[in-house]
Structure 1
């Protein structure tokens, strides 16, 4: 897919989901690997909804890396921005699940978190041509934990600002990725003034801002155009343009919550491109956009795996036609 409108920068990996629910890491008997990584999840979800997207990140020259790149290409994600590292392995993360299907990232097996290929993304190898025609750049914060990829992240931000892309931060706080968690909050807060839209969970909002009120966060940041705060089964709240609101979550038969927030974000971006930034001045359109995003997120929880479970635009439309918040 050429000329992606959305560039998703960061990690792609295998989520190894515990086959047995409610067990600790050491007690799990078997695991099933599913492709994941928040930026990759967003890119795949966007393409399935009909918005051209590209992934920018690094994987190893190994079988896992081959599988993930092949998957992106099969889905239709632009892989121009994928770098391959000759020796560092493609990341796998072990995920335990409670009896409700909610997951916790539990570790990386035999490797240290800094040994994986996604920590070696090279700034000088970023494809500037990708930024020329794109409209949005989506970033997480895990890349701040590793010096080489942190440098690449800041270069991507510079390119996005040079070519006037809207920049979206999904905080995606995962303590297990950081060797020194005490510097994480400072590094993340140092980024916040460079973003147009901020998406975070209720826990992340309280951790960074001591409030989960998106209006208060928007006021605090002043330069941001919108804030989305998700809270799982309790729904989400938002401040977009001058419009604030809360929406409950759709009721679904939850199997696995992995990637639901990423799909929510993809649904939001897909609708934002459809209606245009100017539409955020209209309260009803804003509510329609967030409702759509909630449906995309909810539908992703009814099957295991982040990418495999993502709905098509037709499936979202069918769901919305028969479900109301």
Structure 2
């Protein structure tokens, strides 16, 4: 699988207090598509990441971190003129505030010309998100070109970021989602974009994709496939440390199970288990749950699944 999009250097406070008083920060990396690629590799799925970074220490650190996770980074371009984007994150279990410094970044200059450097004939699946589409007109054109490329199965995570979009955002994101084979969207995102949140209503807005996954926060997730009934699985109870990256982990788990030919319910459970690993860390990249716990819960009866809780001491 190939994931295409921007990844930035991420800084989180290493000490308590308001951001203006923090003097020590911890550097990490974060980007929706590379998060998915790293999580896919953790699930045993070969994955590549295509993007651009600046010719700077942050860019080298980003590429090294993604490569260290086992992702193929051979399609990452080093831009000699533009910088690597970065953002600051105030980690909090209720939802982390972030401040982006990505205007004019190397990745924002990506465009349809990237396809000339990709061997898409050897790629069976491409994953993109609405974040990349919002970065610049050329990035939007790139996402459109990837979604329209013949012979490639595509997945699209809406990843609504209102600060990146103008008033055209809802219409543009609907058109991008309509062009994908598989779409992932949160019910809160659908409500903000199109005024609907129930899975059946979201499906009325997006009848085109063969598969639509509606994530309903900490409650459950529902998959609607052409010609089949809706299937839902409740989310796991998790002692949340910080939520950023959980949606990407869910996407990776769902996609990995899809590629393995799993049933809709098992795909959703795999997504929930992967998301739980992201919810238990301040890093944007998920830390997988112990394999024994994953195997046990994937095959658990509904009562056992519903009773499971993920905490700092393990899965109970």
Category of TM-score, reference length = shorter chain: 0.7 to 0.9
Equivalent residue for 2:140? 150
Whether 2:34 is the aligned partner of 1:56: answer no
Equivalent residue for 1:3? none
Equivalent residue for 1:233? 218
Change (3 A) 1:121 1:130: same
TM-score between the two structures when normalised by the length of structure 1: 0.83
1:321 Cα offset (Å)? 6.5
- Out of 159, 183, 192, the position equivalent to 1:172 is 159
Equivalent residue for 1:74? 68
1:169 Cα offset (Å)? 1.0
Q: How does 1:258-277 map to 2 (within 5 A)?
A: 258-275=244-261
Within 2, Cα distance between the matches of 1:175 and 1:230? Answer: 18
Contact 1:48 1:312 in 2 (8 A): no
TM-score between the two structures when normalised by the length of structure 2: 0.85
1:54 Cα offset (Å)? 0.9
Change (3 A) 1:318 1:101: farther
Q: Report which stretch shifted further, 11-20 or 266-275.
A: 11-20
Equivalent residue for 2:35? 41
Q: Report which stretch shifted further, 203-212 or 287-296.
A: 203-212
- Out of 167, 183, 207, the position equivalent to 1:198 is 183
Give the alignment's Cα RMSD to 1 decimal: 2.5
Within 2, Cα distance between the matches of 1:147 and 1:133? Answer: 27
Higher relative contact order (CA 8 A, sep 6+): 1
Change (3 A) 1:150 1:60: same
Name the SS for the 2:81 alignment partner. coil
Name the SS for the 1:114 alignment partner. coil
1:195 Cα offset (Å)? 1.0
Whether 2:268 is the aligned partner of 1:290: answer yes
Within 1, Cα distance between the matches of 2:208 and 2:202? Answer: 11
Within 2, Cα distance between the matches of 1:15 and 1:318? Answer: 34
Change (3 A) 1:10 1:314: farther
Change (3 A) 1:84 1:196: same
Contact 1:62 1:90 in 2 (8 A): yes
Q: Deviations over 1:231-286 (max 9, x none)?
A: 332232332342313332212232222211101000111010101xxx6xxxxx21
Identify, as 1 or 2, the structure richer in helix.
1
Q: Which sections of structure 1, spanning at least 5 residues, go unmatched? A: 1-5, 280-284
Within 1, Cα distance between the matches of 2:23 and 2:281? Answer: 21
Within 2, Cα distance between the matches of 1:73 and 1:186? Answer: 35
Q: Which sections of structure 2, spanning at least 5 residues, go unmatched? A: 307-316
Contact 2:91 2:282 in 1 (8 A): no
Within 2, Cα distance between the matches of 1:80 and 1:12? Answer: 15
Within 1, Cα distance between the matches of 2:175 and 2:219? Answer: 29
Equivalent residue for 1:102? 95
Equivalent residue for 1:282? none
Contact 2:75 2:118 in 1 (8 A): no
